[in-house]
């Protein structure tokens, strides 16, 4: 919750955190819920999560930020490892005035969410992992889909995005091109250097050795048609995280947005249900 000395400010702004500029957006809540911190995928700016935020109960205060090198946050001087990203997030929360948050991470952001929950267990009350896995030691996706992640071209060329979206992201995007167009329109690429730095940050990282040590109640959400992160990875997370539950939805890698109406009530129930 917010500290007694700092009152979080609503809206979009850029803050300086230990020399790194971060673009942050805070949607105010009514103060009755633990604030929810969102962590996005590789190369993806905070606006992309708007469909989910719109579907979420207004009672929830929502914190979004652009990872260094993405959207409005400039690239760092050197690539950050995941533990460095988690440290930066903790420093950001200090500056914004939050002691404890619930954390939701999507894809690459799901890996960062795992790292943050492990590194700062008292600051993460509950953990939500969407369309993600255990990093280097996980069941890989389809080679054709993974190959497209090696370059940010899909974010730079909307027509290319529309052509490859179905095979790359799966789920509802396969049959509804408008989802791909909307996704492409919301992207604000921070530059190739930032994109590759973000990719490099996860090279060799894995959460497998310490997932059993996570004590936060954890909700794992995964689509049954995800070419990038196959569904079996969600079962692995569920098996290894002690206090976890798994919800499978009929969609693909972008399901948090394209299936927001189905997924959001599941998340809200998880966040408000007692674990006693």
Catalytic residues, which ones? 107
Two tokens, residue 37: 């911190």
For 102, the 3-state DSSP assignment is: strand
- Which residues fall within 8 angstroms of residue 222, CB to CB, at 6 or more apart? 130, 131, 229, 231, 233, 234, 246, 247, 248, 249
Listed residue (25, 30, 96) closest to 57, CA to CA: 30
Residue pair 129/103 in contact by the 8 Å Cβ criterion: no
Listed residue (62, 10, 51, 12) closest to 271, CA to CA: 62
- With b meaning 16 or more CB within 10 Å and e meaning fewer, what string describes 207-232? beeebeebebbbbbbbbebbbbbbee
Sign of CA pseudo-dihedral 197, 203, 209, 211: positive
Sign of CA pseudo-dihedral 197, 73, 165, 53: positive
Residue pair 214/220 in contact by the 8 Å Cβ criterion: no
């Amino acid at each position: 919750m917010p500290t007694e000395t700092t009152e979080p400010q609503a809206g979009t702004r850029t803050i300086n955190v230990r020399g790194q500029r971060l673009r942050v957006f805070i949607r105010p809540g009514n103060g009755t819920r633990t604030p929810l911190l969102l962590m996005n995928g590789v190369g993806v700016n905070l606006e992309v999560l708007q469909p989910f935020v719109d579907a979420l109960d207004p009672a929830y205060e929502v914190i979004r930020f652009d990872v260094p090198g993405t959207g409005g946050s400039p690239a760092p001087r050197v690539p950050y490892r995941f533990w460095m990203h988690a440290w930066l997030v903790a420093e950001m929360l200090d500056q914004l005035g939050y002691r404890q948050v619930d954390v939701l991470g999507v894809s690459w952001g799901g890996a960062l969410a795992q790292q943050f929950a492990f590194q700062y267990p008292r600051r993460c009350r509950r953990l939500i992992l969407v369309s993600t896995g255990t990093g280097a030691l996980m069941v890989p996706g389809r080679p054709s889909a993974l190959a497209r992640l090696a370059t940010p071209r899909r974010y730079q060329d909307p027509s290319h995005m529309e052509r490859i979206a179905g095979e790359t992201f799966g789920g509802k995007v396969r049959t509804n091109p408008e989802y791909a167009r909307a996704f492409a329109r919301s992207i604000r690429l921070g530059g190739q250097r930032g994109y590759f730095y973000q990719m490099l940050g996860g090279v060799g990282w894995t959460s497998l050795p310490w997932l059993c040590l996570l004590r936060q109640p954890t909700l794992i959400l995964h689509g049954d048609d995800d070419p990038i992160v196959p569904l079996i990875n969600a079962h692995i997370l569920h098996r290894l995280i002690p206090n976890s539950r798994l919800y499978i939805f009929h969609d693909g890698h972008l399901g948090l947005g394209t299936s927001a109406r189905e997924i959001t009530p599941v998340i809200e129930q998880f966040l408000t249900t007692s674990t006693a």
